[in-house]
Structures are given as C-alpha cells and as structure tokens.
C-alpha cells in the first residue's frame, strides 16, 4: 500500500524512499492555502486592532499598558511572518530516506537547500512512535515516527500525516528488519 506522496525504489545497494512535498497533493494544497489565508487574515485583524489601541494610548485614553502593547505588537509583527514562513517551508519540504546495510541517510530539501543526516544502523535499530519532539521538530503531527539506535533518534516522515506515516512505517520496518 503506497500513497501518492511516497515513492519507493530499490537497487542492490540501498532502498530509496522519496516523500513528495505537501504541495504535490491537491487536498493538502487546499488545506495549507486555507491555513495561510487564516494566518494572514488574523495578522491583519490583529495589526488593525493593535493600531487602534496605540491610538487610544496616544490620545491619553484608558487602554492596555504600553509594555503590553509593545509585546503584543512584537508578537504580531514578528511571530506571524515567522509562522507564515514556516508554513511555506513545510509546503515545499521534500524528504528522502536511503536505507543501506550500514546506515540510514535522511535528506530534507527546502528551497534548494538540503539538510543531510546519516544515522548508523546497529543490531538494536528500531522504529518507534512517539509524542516527544524529534528532529525535525517542525513536524505537523503530534504522533511522530522515529528510527532509534541506542540513545539517538532520527525523525522521519515529518511532512506526512498519521495515515501516511503508518505506510512509511511498514516500508521502513521491512527494510531495517
């Protein structure tokens, strides 16, 4: 059972698993666009409301203290663009797993840059489900899939939903056992 976002290729040296970015799935594309619109709308409404509060303060009327307004303004003006950038990064993130007898290589590509991590395989290498943060910590589900060897953990399937992670789990479990 494979999903449209998970592609598996095997050669004599390794098993390669490619996870396509969420933008490649029309339902996910619609959800992420809706989330972006909600985030942008909330930011605009928050900025308008804060602008009104700043005017009240400047006019000497009773309003929130200046320190609170400053913190709220910073949250809206810094936090919202950072969240929007994170959403866009998630939207375009691609993940590749290459499983060999000696190691597991995970590569996450976003905006042309790639983060590679080689994870050594041992006799005690296994897959676990966890709710604890596992790098990449920006995974969008609360149930995370991780490869574990000793005390090291490697999060996989960061952009996948739970059902797709279960498919990925079956594929990786067969490859490492």
- Last residue of some domain: 62, 91, 120? 91
- Residue 1's pLDDT is 45
Q: Is the pLDDT of residue 136 over 70?
A: no
Q: Is the pLDDT of residue 137 over 80?
A: no
Tens-place pLDDT, residues 59-69: 988 888 999 99
Tens-place pLDDT, residues 106-129: 998 888 888 898 888 887 888 999
> Is residue 165 exposed (0-12), middle (13-18) or buried (19+ Cβ within 10 Å)?
buried
157 lies in the same domain as 102: yes
Q: Is the pLDDT of residue 97 over 90?
A: yes
114 lies in the same domain as 65: no
Domain carrying residue 82: 27-91
Let me know: does 173 contact 127? Beta carbons within 8 Å. Answer: yes
- Last residue of some domain: 91, 106, 130? 91
| pTM (2 d.p.) | 0.76
User: For 59, what's the count of Cα atoms within 13 Å in the CB-facing half-sphere?
Assistant: 9
């Amino acid at each position: 059972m494979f999903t449209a976002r998970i592609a598996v290729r095997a050669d004599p040296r390794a098993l390669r698993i490619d996870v396509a970015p969420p933008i490649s799935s029309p339902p996910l594309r619609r959800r992420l666009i809706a989330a972006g619109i909600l985030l942008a709308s909330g930011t605009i409404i928050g900025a308008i409301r804060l602008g009104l509060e700043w005017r009240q303060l400047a006019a000497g009327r009773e309003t929130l203290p200046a320190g609170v307004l400053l913190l709220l303004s910073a949250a809206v003006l810094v936090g919202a663009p950072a969240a929007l950038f994170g959403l866009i990064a998630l939207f375009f993130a691609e993940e590749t797993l290459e499983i060999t007898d000696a190691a597991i290589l995970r590569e996450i590509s976003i905006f042309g840059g790639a983060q590679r991590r080689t994870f050594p395989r041992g006799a005690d290498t296994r897959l676990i489900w966890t709710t604890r943060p596992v790098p990449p910590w920006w995974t969008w589900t609360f149930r995370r899939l991780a490869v574990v060897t000793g005390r090291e953990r490697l999060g996989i399937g960061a952009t996948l939903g739970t059902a797709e992670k279960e498919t990925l789990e079956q594929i990786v479990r067969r490859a490492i056992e």
